[in-house]
């Protein structure tokens, strides 16, 4: 299933001349960009310098508490016409699939939580605010704005975690820049330097910040698994450092979290079964950089970044090479496939289709089995056939099963980012479902 939480240049007075040297640096595809001296100074960026590591483009970290205001995407239209025009193309990516209709079993799995009523697939970045308002899911706190508007990103940088606990409606009038350049470049677009403005990601990757390519971090700010801290309501990640960024260890982390009443952390509690359920959110970052990923994992065959595949290099009519800011499938870019992928992938579209079919077939089969398990457990409880410690054990098993299933269901590539990790998660879900069914006998 493809979804994010919501549901998720004509003025050449300023010369924009970048010589982009696309080079294979130690089997890596990071690009060296040489900005032209004609590029003017940007409005002041709140960013700190970080030491460089070999083969990795290192991002900057945004500074906090600086009273920063956002330079809006539209304000860059004249200065960066190529990037801005490609960014506006996201408006064309406007298709939405309603998953509650496509996969009715999720109404059971997410019962009691907003996603059971409305769960739209992801579409273009420029739709994030429209889609957020239209979800039909209730929004209580401003933390829902975390991945939707740079106006909120700036608010958190200025005010700290207290911003997350604001009432949703109290922030709505402050939304000025739906999905802005600010998320990835702060106010200093310059030569395309990436500044990580979402501090929870900086905290989560901790000492590994310099080891992760800037482009991967730019997307990981939103295309990642998070939860809202039960006390502060702050957007938080269930890991510290890359070694702890596995679905298994993240589950263990969330299973060990408690709320103010001492209960095990839950996104919601299923009324019929009492299972304290967790909702995974679009873990593209964790999946792509995880063990087994041929282009993103620790033992990658060939390291590529999210931008290499989703933001290919384009050549304008005047010969200027620039990075496309139209975030779509790499399969939509024949030049990329021919020039970069074809030497190893003769027919990537078929490979992708095969992986996605295998993934969704199994995801649906296990989703149905999990929904059946929910119903069977509810019936067993209603009839008094299970109670006490046996009931607690089975609830825990169902919670774990749904976590591993959801980790794949909500990952937008449908297995393509990392077949091995996808298979691992589905195997774990299947194992837990079997265990729970055996416990019900
Ligand atoms: C500020 C948060 C944020 C950042 C940063 C971000 N995304 Fe997204 N992305 C989203 C949201 C939210 C959606 C879904 C929009 C909707 O459906 O309304 C989305 C949608 C997408 C889609 C479209 C999916 C579809 O089905 O059409 C692609 C592709 C994508 N993002 C790739 C990327 C890449 C690659 C990066 C990094 C270079 C990135 N995104 C950075 C929040 C973000
Ligand atoms: C989701 C993250 C993201 C957002 C939002 C974003 N960019 Fe970028 N931008 C990148 C990445 C990643 C690169 C560098 C690509 C690479 O290194 O492979 C880049 C590169 C650039 C460059 C360097 C020149 C080039 O084309 O490579 C410019 C200029 C730029 N962006 C302008 C903008 C403008 C203007 C906006 C808003 C309209 C914007 N960007 C929004 C991620 C982003
Ligand atoms: C090796 C190339 C590659 C890399 C690197 C890569 N992806 Fe993808 N991604 C794909 C392919 C292929 C698809 C499936 C596209 C399709 O179905 O047409 C995909 C799908 C997606 C989608 C769903 C798009 C849609 O149209 O529904 C999102 C969102 C996404 N990727 C985000 C990311 C993020 C974030 C990263 C980095 C953490 C990343 N990708 C790294 C190749 C890549
Ligand atoms: C140097 C050879 C090489 C190049 C170049 C290459 N790939 Fe791959 N790619 C591989 C190998 C090897 C695998 C693992 C194949 C497998 O397990 O079946 C792979 C797997 C993949 C997968 C599936 C991920 C998975 O878990 O199996 C995708 C998607 C993918 N590549 C996309 C791309 C895209 C897009 C490009 C071009 C931007 C590209 N690749 C360039 C060698 C390459």
Q: What is the pLDDT along the chain (441 residues), one digit of tens a residue?
A: 544 433 333 323 333 333 322 333 333 333 333 233 333 333 333 333 334 445 899 999 998 888 888 999 999 999 999 999 999 988 777 777 778 788 999 999 999 887 767 677 766 666 665 666 666 566 788 888 888 889 889 899 999 989 999 988 888 888 888 888 999 999 988 889 999 999 999 999 999 999 999 999 999 999 999 999 988 999 999 999 999 999 999 999 999 999 888 999 999 999 999 999 999 999 999 999 999 999 999 999 999 999 999 999 999 999 999 999 999 999 999 999 999 999 999 999 999 999 999 999 999 999 999 999 999 999 999 999 999 999 999 999 999 999 999 999 999 999 999 999 999 999 999 999 999 999 998
With a 6 Å cutoff on the Cβ, whether 408 touches ligand 2 is no
- Half-sphere exposure of residue 329: CA atoms within 13 angstroms, side-chain side: 14
- Kindly report the backbone phi and psi dihedral angles of residue 47, in degrees, each rounded to the nearest multiple of 5, phi listed first: -150, 145
Q: What pLDDT, on a 0 to 100 scale, did the predictor assign at position 21? A: 29
Say if pTM beats, i.e. exceeds, 0.75: yes
For residue 30, give Cα distances in angstroms to 57, 216, 340, 347, 408: 7, 11, 13, 24, 28
With a 6 Å cutoff on the Cβ, whether 282 touches ligand 3 is no
Closest CA to 228 of 284, 154, 129, 147: 147
For residue 258, give Cα distances in angstroms to 70, 246, 261: 36, 20, 8
CATH fold of the domain at 18-237+303-329: Flavocytochrome C3; Chain A, domain 2 (1.10.1130)
Q: How far apart are CA 397 and CA 188, in angstroms?
A: 48
Q: Tokens in use for 186?
A: 């702060």
With a 6 Å cutoff on the Cβ, whether 204 touches ligand 3 is no
Q: Are 401 and 432 in contact (CB under 8 A)?
A: yes
Counting from 1 in the atom list of ligand 2, the atom nearest the Cα of 182 is 5
Q: How far apart are CA 307 and CA 313, in angstroms?
A: 9
Indicate the domain borders of the chain.
18-237+303-329
Q: How far apart are CA 72 and CA 14, in angstroms?
A: 18
Q: Of the ligands numbered here, which is closest to the C-alpha atom of 327? A: 1
């Amino acid at each position: 299933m493809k979804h994010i939480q919501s549901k998720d240049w004509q003025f050449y007075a300023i010369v924009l001349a970048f010589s982009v040297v696309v080079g294979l640096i130690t089997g890596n595809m990071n690009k060296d960009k040489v900005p032209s001296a004609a590029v003017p100074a940007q409005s002041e960026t709140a960013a700190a310098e970080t030491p460089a590591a070999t083969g990795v483009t290192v991002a900057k970290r945004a500074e906090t508490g600086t009273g920063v205001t956002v330079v809006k995407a539209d304000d860059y239209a004249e200065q960066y016409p190529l990037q801005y025009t490609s960014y506006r193309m996201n408006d064309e990516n406007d298709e939405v699939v309603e998953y509650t209709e496509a996969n009715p079993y999720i109404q059971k799995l997410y019962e009691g939580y907003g996603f059971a009523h409305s769960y739209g697939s992801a579409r273009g970045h420029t739709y994030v605010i429209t889609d957020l308002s239209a979800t039909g899911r209730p929004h209580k706190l401003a933390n829902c704005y975390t991945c939707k508007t740079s106006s909120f990103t700036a608010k958190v940088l200025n005010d700290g975690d207290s911003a997350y606990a604001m009432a949703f409606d109290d922030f709505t009038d402050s939304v000025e820049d739906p999905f802005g350049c600010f998320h990835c470049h702060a106010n200093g677009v310059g030569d395309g330097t990436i500044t990580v403005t979402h501090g929870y990601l900086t905290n989560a990757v901790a000492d590994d910040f310099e080891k992760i390519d800037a482009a991967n971090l730019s997307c990981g700010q939103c295309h990642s698994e998070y939860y809202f801290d039960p006390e502060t309501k702050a957007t938080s990640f269930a890991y510290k450092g890359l070694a702890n960024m596995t679905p298994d260890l993240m589950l263990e982390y969330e299973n060990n979290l408690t709320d103010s009443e001492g209960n095990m952390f839950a996104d919601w509690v299923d009324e019929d079964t009492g299972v304290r359920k967790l909702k995974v959110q679009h873990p593209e970052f964790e999946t792509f950089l995880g063990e087994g990923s041929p282009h993103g994992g620790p033992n990658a065959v060939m390291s590529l970044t999210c931008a290499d595949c989703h933001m290919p290099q384009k050549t304008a009519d005047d010969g200027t090479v620039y990075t496309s800011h139209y975030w779509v499938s790499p399969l939509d870019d024949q030049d990329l496939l021919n020039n970069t992928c074809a030497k190893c992938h003769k027919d990537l579209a078929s490979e992708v289709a095969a992986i996605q079919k295998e993934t969704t077939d199994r995801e649906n089969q296990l989703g149905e089995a999990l929904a059946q398990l929910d119903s069977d457990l509810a019936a067993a409880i209603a009839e008094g056939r299970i109670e006490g410690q046996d009931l607690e054990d089975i609830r825990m098993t169902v919670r774990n099963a749904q976590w591993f299933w959801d980790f794949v269901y909500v990952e937008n590539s449908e297995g393509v980012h990392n077949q091995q990790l996808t298979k691992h998660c589905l195997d774990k879900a299947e194992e837990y479902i079997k265990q729970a069914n055996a416990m019900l006998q």
